[in-house]
A = this chain, B = another copy of it.
Amino acid sequence: MPVISVTLLPGYDEGTEERLVQRLALAARSVIAAPAAGTTSFVMHANTYQRDGRVVRKGGAPHPDASALVGDFLARVEARELDAARQLLAPGFVMRFPGGALMTRLEELLAWARERYQRVAKRIERIDESWGDGVTTVHCSGTLHGVLLDGFAFEGVRFIDRFEVVGGLILRQEVWNDLAEVRPRAV
């Protein structure tokens, strides 16, 4: 136990249905202490489906994988491919970085960064997805390494980013890290 059956209209690709059965199993096992070996989940296809008095012939589109989306976004920003990164942002996108104001454009972010680092990059250690009502929250944490403006090199500096993904696009990014802890204080 448990046995989880999800009935869908046909038409989804294999990867979408796999993500579905995996997540249903995880959701169930987050509520009850069921071993993986005893947790079965599967997709059944309904051939004809009606709700609310209407026959529906096609299910809702698959969402892109939110974790992969966030990974792409971070990689594009790190590579300074701003046009490509921007395609992953929802209207109304905002981001906030440590000690900084709310920003809405990637150019602002780059300007903000230019005043802080010569360069910086992430080593992502964990990605956690949270499945909410209309929003998937992605937390991505690990360590930063790079060089500050003054040439101070750092690595192993803990960071965490929190993303809200809505409709397959990033609506919000919040960033925390320990850089302020580790950089040498001005004397």
A155 CB–B CB distance under 8 Å: no
Q: What is the 8 Å Cβ interface bit string for chain A, positions 104-132, against chain B (1 contact, 0 not)?
A: 00000000000000000000001011111
Question: Does B3 lie within 8 Å of A7, measured CB to CB?
Answer: yes
Q: Which of A7-26 contact B (CB under 8 A)?
A: 7-10, 12, 14, 16-26
Oligomer: number of copies: 6
B176 pairs with A160, CB closer than 8 A: yes
A151 within 8 A of B: no
Asked whether, in the complex, the Cβ of A182 is within 8 Å of the Cβ of B99, the reply is yes
Known: A26-B133, A133-B53. A16 touches B32 (CB 8 A): yes
Q: Which residues of B contact A21 (CB under 8 A)?
A: 48-50, 55
Contact A14 B48 (CB under 8 A): yes
Whether A68 is near chain B, meaning CB under 8 Å from some CB there, is: no
Interface residues of A in 57-110 (CB under 8 A from B): 59-63, 66, 96, 98-99
Residues of B within 8 Å of A4, CB to CB, are 4-7, 24
CB of A149 within 8 A of chain B? no
Complex interface: chain B residues within 8 A of A6 (CB): 2-5, 28
A8 to chain B, nearest CB (A): 5
Contact with B along A15-53 (1 / 0, CB 8 A): 011111111111111111111111111111111111111
Query: Which residue numbers of A lie inside 8 Å of B, CB to CB?
Result: 1-10, 12, 14, 16-53, 55-56, 59-63, 66, 96, 98-99, 126, 128-134, 136-137, 139, 141, 158-160, 162, 167, 174, 176-178, 180-182, 185-186
Contacts A16-B31, A42-B50, A176-B176 known; list 5 others, CB within 8 Å. A12-B32, A17-B47, A41-B51, A128-B130, A131-B131
- 13 A-B pairs within 8 Å (CB atoms) are namely A1-B46, A2-B6, A3-B40, A5-B6, A7-B44, A14-B48, A20-B48, A23-B28, A26-B133, A30-B129, A33-B60, A43-B49, A128-B139
